Amino acid sequence: MDKKVYLETFGCQMNVVDSERIISLLAQIGYRQVDSAEEADLVLLNTCSVRDRAERKVYGHLGRFKPIKDRRPELIVGVGGCVAQQEGEKMLAETPYLDIVFGTHNIHKLPEMVLKVEGREGRFHETDFLDKETRLTLFPNRSEGDEVCRFVTIMQGCDNFCTYCVVPHVRGREISRSSAEILDEVRGLAADGMKEVTLIGQNVNSYGIQDERELSFAALLRAVADIDGIERIRFTTSHPKDMSDELIACFADLDKLCHHIHLPVQCGSDPILTKMNRGYSREEYLELVEKLRKACPDIRFSTDIIVGFPGESEADFEQTLDLVEQVRYADAFTFLYSPRPGTAAAEMEETLAPEVKQARFDRLIELQQQISETFWQDDVGKVLPVLVEGESKKGEGQYFGRTTWNRIVNFPGSPKLVGRTVMLRIVKNFRNSQLGEIVSD
Ligand code: SAH
Ligand code: SF4
Ligand code: F3S
């Protein structure tokens, strides 16, 4: 029988990769992916609980499936990912139309759970964390595919326990995948024509640290760069406290490494950085930025910043604004602090009025917008290499790719360019993309 699954994914790259794995596991029991819940036999949400807003969004989306289930009681509804991990069985108890809850370590059990629900055996939840050895056998390996760019998971979980963050609580302890396996996967993808790889993990810089026989992250990057066919390498996310000189040197030496780094700072004030348990000072962060600029003069930075952490004073916030001006990020993702269950910061007293928090947030966004625009304006007229990833949603005959700085460029092109690097002149800027024209291919 032809069964259909509809899957919605929220959150970070980890969830994007997990969702690909969910689809391939479900294909083994006869499910094919469709793009509307209305026509599906199974609907799934892969969820994120990193901020209150992300979590509420999930509950909103889940509610949309209820009327469908009222009409078609045989519809199977499941929730996975970080909200599922956090809430567990409680979700089943509170949501009568929900059949399956599966946690971040239990994706491999999903097919079995779906088959049981199909057989009317009940409703199920699996949210136990697995031990390290079992997890190491479960890393997704997708050494096939015809895309131009892929994420490759190199580690899972996080041990940093930044005091605001739910990730260590919902993803478990940090483990690194073996470099032999990672390199095999990348070789397989390169053989299929893939050109760009993004190595992903919550804190890629600490890759291999727990295992002295393993490569360091910098050595892993160099090994990936040695693979024929791979033209571009990116990685995310980097933690400033684990940014080694060896890694910084990669930006000077490796032609394939893109000139962009996402280096979350979270805040520009030392007392708040300490309360966040980030493990670096403002000064150390600024030194890193300088070293990276020295190794790679045109490198561009992006960052994450939390506004309104408990106890943040006006002076603390001004330190953040000042740091943003000093670093000159090309892009910043800014978030209003929200307390997360089980985290240390959730126990800290919040004294800021919501309107003060919001006003600071707006000031930061405005400053960052001005800085981002100077980068974009500066790009106009430049001729830049862009790896063409595919057809763009902007309309017929439009294609897209990214600059080394990770900005999306749309341009009039043709299918034969997909997978090739073309030289594009940047002609116009938009908030999330640029418009280019071909100079040479
Ligand atoms: N591992 C990555 C990203 C983690 S989550 C890192 O260490 O940078 C992505 C971003 O969400 C974080 O960088 C942080 O800026 C934000 N974030 C996490 N918890 C938050 C909270 N409780 N409130 C507001 N923003 C939060
Ligand atoms: Fe969260 Fe900190 Fe780990 Fe990033 S490094 S996932 S912010 S605990
Ligand atoms: Fe969200 Fe989970 Fe990623 S909480 S940010 S989807 S690890």
Verify whether ligand 3 is closer than 6 Å to residue 92 (CB atom). Answer: no
User: How far does the centroid of ligand 1 lie from the alpha carbon of residue 192, in Å?
Assistant: 34
Nearest ligand, CA 200:
1
Output the ligand 2 site: residues, CB below 6 A: 158, 160-162, 165, 167-168, 202-203, 239
User: For residues 332 and 305, is the Cβ–Cβ distance under 8 A?
Assistant: yes
What spacing in Å lies between the alpha carbon of 136 and ligand 2's midpoint? 21
State the amino acid at position 314 in one-letter form.
E
Q: What pLDDT, on a 0 to 100 scale, did the predictor assign at position 127?
A: 97
Q: How confident is the model at residue 351 (pLDDT cuts 50, 70, 90)?
A: confident
Task: Dihedral sign for Cα 408, 153, 18, 25, please.
Answer: positive
| DSSP bridge partners of 307 | 336
Half-sphere exposure of 305 (CA within 13 A, CB side): 32
Ligand nearest to the CA of 156: 3
- How sure is the predictor about 63, in pLDDT bands with cuts at 50, 70 and 90? very high
Give the pLDDT band (50/70/90) at residue 212: confident
The verdict on the CB of residue 51 being under 6 Å from ligand 1 is yes
Residue bearing the CA closest to ligand 1, atom 19: 165
Looking at residue 147, its pLDDT comes to 87
pLDDT 10s digits, 355-364: 999 999 999 9
Torsion angle of the four alpha carbons 384, 217, 327, 275, in this order, in degrees rounded to the nearest 10: 150
Closest ligand 3 atom number to CA of residue 14: 3
pLDDT, tens digit, 9 for 90 and up, residues 68-98:
999 999 999 999 999 999 999 999 999 999 9
Token pair, residue 129, equals 């964390």
Contacts of 437 (CB under 8 A, 6+ apart): 411, 412, 424, 425, 427
Q: Hey, what domains does the chain have and what are their CATH numbers? A: 3-129 (3.40.50.12160), 133-378 (3.80.30.20), 380-440 (2.40.50.140)
Q: Which two tokens stand for residue 48?
A: 């994120």
The answer to whether residues 422 and 440 touch, using CB atoms and an 8 Å cutoff, is yes
Write out pLDDT tens, residues 267-317: 999 999 999 999 999 999 999 999 999 999 999 999 999 999 999 999 999
CA of 102 to the centre of ligand 1 (A): 23
pLDDT category at 393 given cuts 50, 70, 90 is confident
Say how far apart CA 153 and CA 151 lie, in whole Å: 6
Which residue's alpha carbon is at the smallest distance from atom 5 of ligand 2? Answer: 160
CA 165–ligand 3 middle distance (angstroms):
10
| Ligand 1 and 199: CB distance under 6 A | no
